Amino acid sequence: MIISKIEDSEPVLNLKDLFYEPKALNKAVNKKVEEIPQKSRYDNFKLLTDISNVLQKCRHLTAKDKLLYCQSQRYFMKLYLREINKEFVD
């Protein structure tokens, strides 16, 4: 059985660090937050190029398949352009 006495000298936890982050950590978090749009922009562009390659190289696609690929290409193009426009607006 462990008994804790108030008189004992126990280290006191510094709870301030739990609520107020050090500045170095804030900078690291801010850097990660800034990298997220870059990654999503790159991912959208990569998907656009992949879809374009499928449309150009796959001759066995039916007209319905091509239409679905074009619709998805349009969707990712909109996402990509929104990210690019945010950069110029901000």
CA distances, 45 to each of 17, 28, 70 (Å): 40, 26, 15
Q: What's the CA gap between 43 and 72, in Å, rounded?
A: 14
The half-sphere exposure of 71 on its side-chain side, counting CA atoms within 13 A, is 6
- pLDDT at residue 41, rounded to an integer: 82
pLDDT less than 70: residues of the chain: 1-26, 28-37, 90
pTM for the model stands at: 0.56
Q: Convert the pLDDT of each residue in 78-90 to its tens digit.
A: 988 888 888 777 6
Report angle CA 49, 43, 58 to the nearest 5 degrees: 25
